[in-house]
């Protein structure tokens, strides 16, 4: 035990642990700044959010320690069980959860509540890794594909039923791991072009757009056909059909499926609607807070927008505003760098795993963390619509912090044991 303990310590990727500690510390500091009102300044004041977050952080460190002394095999072995527990909890939430900000995602246990959807990402990552790491599994088989997609879609659908669109979207991040494991690159290309088409379809009249794209495709066909007679017309018809379906589908989904508040958020983002009091309020205030930070920021506890609550949700989903305002461009860029570095590092670490499970799991959590970072910061700087998901390790909230800590340290633990025989 002593020997393996030493070995574990020697193989721990300390840079990642330091990045984790850094993010958690920055998070706490900015929650303090966001909540700070000059009256309660005791950092352990449990009636304030920074006091509570301090407690969550303490607990998270205990969890991390706990994970580090656990046998790494334990996690792969219990993957399905964890997944099933998560799914069960999601069902329970649907039935008896409490509604907060329009989403039914809380499960109250006494004074405290937890958000099963935060943990379900972890469960899904474990289960998916477990599934695809089995020796007799081949991604090319349809059965495998369907099972994998099923594992992802089940919790996603349940979270969507909770009316928590943001958390549901996070499951899209598994596309990274699937791509790495052999998912056709067309899926990725289709995905990206679908998103581009989606945005275009909202800006331009759908029929006009179809016309333009069809024309462009036909011109492309004739140019290519002249050079090479073997180019088949049928493929280009396929492209046109694909575009038309996506565009019309978007039109339909947008007008008939999306809720009015979601439509508004997208319209505001696309600049089709100027509404600084209603749907655009959050984004506008968020941009003001970040933009007013300037190069060096206003300084710790000096952010007026932050302190006086101009930005809603500034200790949870909009925590980045506080960073932007008080620490300026310098602070923001450091944070962006740390996130990107962490995600890239996780990919690199995943690639050095001998265990398939560990590699798959590494990709999964790198994707999840990256997706959160991408959506959350994109939203606060006005590049993406308002989608309420927390910024990993920074945002206030026990469930989110614990889930991410678990996710990260399970991987660090796997990584530390990468030299051991499987």
Instruction: Give the nearest distance from C-beta 341 to other proteins in angstroms.
Output: 9
Residues within window 323-352 making contact with other proteins, judged by CB under 8 A:
324-325, 328-329, 332-333, 336-337, 339-340, 343-344, 347-348, 350-351
Taking CB under 8 A as the rule, does residue 305 contact other proteins? Answer: yes
Considering only CA atoms, which of 132, 130, 176, 127 is closest in space to residue 152?
127
Which residue's entry shows tokens 């029929």? 207
Q: What is the DSSP letter of 296?
A: T
Instruction: Give the nearest distance from C-beta 404 to other proteins in angstroms.
Output: 17
Taking CB under 8 A as the rule, does residue 208 contact other proteins? Answer: no
From the list 55-63, 124-132, 322-330, 413-421, the region that binds other proteins by CB under 8 A is 322-330
327: left (phi over 0), alpha (psi -120 to 50) or beta: alpha
Closest CB to other proteins among residues 60, 148:
148
Closest CB to other proteins among residues 105, 144:
144
Closest CB to other proteins among residues 69, 383:
383
Residues within window 383-402 making contact with other proteins, judged by CB under 8 A:
383
CA distance 73 to 410: 10
Q: Beginning with the edge strand found earlier in the chain, give each strand of the sheet holding 112-114 in spatial order.
A: 98-100, 103-109, 112-114
Which residue's entry shows tokens 């049928």? 234
Given 32, 310, 396, 404, the residue binding other proteins (CB under 8 A): 310
Residues within window 113-172 making contact with other proteins, judged by CB under 8 A:
138
Closest CB to other proteins among residues 213, 379:
379
CA distance 289 to 326: 9
Given 159, 243, 290, 391, the residue binding other proteins (CB under 8 A): 290
Instruction: Give the nearest distance from C-beta 40 to other proteins in angstroms.
Output: 15
Given 40, 309, 354, 422, the residue binding other proteins (CB under 8 A): 309
- Given a contact cutoff of 8 angstroms between Cβ atoms, the answer to whether 353 and 346 are in contact is no
- Given a contact cutoff of 8 angstroms between Cβ atoms, the answer to whether 324 and 305 are in contact is no
Taking CB under 8 A as the rule, does residue 289 contact other proteins? Answer: yes
From the list 79-87, 253-261, 373-381, 398-406, the region that binds other proteins by CB under 8 A is 373-381
Closest CB to other proteins among residues 215, 294:
294
Residues within window 349-368 making contact with other proteins, judged by CB under 8 A:
350-351, 363, 366
- In sequence order, what are the beta bridge partners of 114? 107
Closest CB to other proteins among residues 263, 287:
287
CA distance 127 to 289: 40
CA distance 203 to 217: 20
Q: Element (H or E) spanning 114, and its range?
A: strand 112-114
Residues within window 6-65 making contact with other proteins, judged by CB under 8 A:
none
Instruction: Give the nearest distance from C-beta 405 to other proteins in angstroms.
Output: 21
The three state secondary structure string of 224-239 is: HHHHCCCCCHHHHHHH
DSSP symbols for 367-405: HHHHHHHHHHHHHHTTSS-----PPTTTSS-HHHHHHHH
The token duo for 103 is 């989403």
In the three-class reduction of DSSP (H, G, I as helix; E, B as strand; rest coil), residue 252 is classed as helix
Taking CB under 8 A as the rule, does residue 245 contact other proteins? Answer: no
CA distance 229 to 270: 42
Closest CB to other proteins among residues 221, 339:
339
Instruction: Give the nearest distance from C-beta 263 to other proteins in angstroms.
Output: 24
Which residue's entry shows tokens 């920021």? 297
Closest CB to other proteins among residues 170, 343:
343
Closest CB to other proteins among residues 106, 339:
339
CA distance 422 to 6: 19
Q: What is the DSSP letter of 110?
A: T
- Given a contact cutoff of 8 angstroms between Cβ atoms, the answer to whether 319 and 339 are in contact is no
Closest CB to other proteins among residues 155, 382:
382
By CB under 8 A, the count of residues binding other proteins is: 47
Give contact residues for other proteins (rule: CB under 8 A). Answer: 138, 176, 179-182, 285, 287-295, 304-305, 307-310, 324-325, 328-329, 332-333, 336-337, 339-340, 343-344, 347-348, 350-351, 363, 366, 370, 374, 377-378, 381-383
């Amino acid at each position: 035990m002593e020997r393996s303990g030493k070995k574990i310590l020697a193989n721990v990727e300390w840079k990642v642990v330091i990045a984790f500690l850094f993010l958690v510390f920055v998070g706490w500091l900015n929650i303090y700044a966001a909540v700070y009102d000059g009256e309660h300044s005791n950092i352990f004041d449990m009636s304030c959010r920074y006091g509570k977050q301090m407690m969550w952080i303490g607990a998270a460190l205990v969890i991390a320690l706990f994970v580090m002394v656990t046998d790494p095999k334990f996690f792969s072995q219990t993957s399905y069980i964890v997944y099933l527990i998560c799914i069960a909890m999601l069902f329970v939430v649907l039935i008896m959860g409490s509604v907060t900000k329009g989403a039914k995602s809380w499960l109250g246990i006494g004074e405290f509540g937890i958000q099963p959807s935060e943990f379900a990402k972890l469960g899904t990552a474990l289960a998916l890794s477990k599934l695809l790491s089995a020796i007799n599994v081949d991604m090319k088989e349809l059965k495998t594909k369907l099972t994998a997609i099923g594992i992802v879609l089940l919790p996603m659908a349940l979270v969507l039923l909770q009316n928590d669109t943001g958390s549901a979207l996070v499951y899209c991040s598994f596309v990274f791991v699937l791509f790495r494991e052999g998912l056709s690159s067309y899926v990725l290309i289709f995905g990206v072009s679908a998103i581009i088409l989606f945005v275009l379809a909202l800006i331009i009249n759908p029929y006009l757009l179809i016309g333009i794209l069809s024309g462009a495709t036909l011109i492309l066909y004739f140019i290519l056909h002249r050079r090479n007679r073997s180019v088949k017309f049928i493929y280009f018809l396929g492209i046109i059909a694909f575009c038309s379906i996506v565009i019309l589908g978007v039109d339909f989904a947008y007008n008939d499926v999306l809720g009015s508040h979601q439509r508004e958020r997208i319209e505001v983002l696309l600049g089709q609607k100027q509404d600084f009091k209603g749907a655009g309020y959050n984004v506008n205030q968020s941009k003001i807070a970040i933009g007013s930070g300037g190069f060096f920021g206003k300084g710790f506890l000096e952010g007026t927008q932050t302190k006086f609550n101009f930005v809603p949700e500034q200790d949870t989903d909009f925590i980045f505003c506080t960073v932007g305002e008080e620490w300026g461009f310098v602070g923001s860029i450091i944070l962006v760098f740390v996130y990107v570095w962490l995600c890239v590092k996780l990919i690199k670490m995943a690639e050095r795993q001998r265990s398939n499970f560990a590699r798959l799991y590494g990709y999964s959590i790198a994707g999840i963390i990256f997706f959160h970072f991408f959506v959350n910061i994109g939203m606060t700087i006005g590049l993406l619509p308002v989608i309420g998901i927390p910024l990993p390790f920074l945002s206030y909230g026990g469930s989110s912090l614990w889930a991410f800590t678990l996710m990260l340290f399970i991987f660090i633990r796997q990584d530390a044991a990468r030299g051991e025989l499987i």
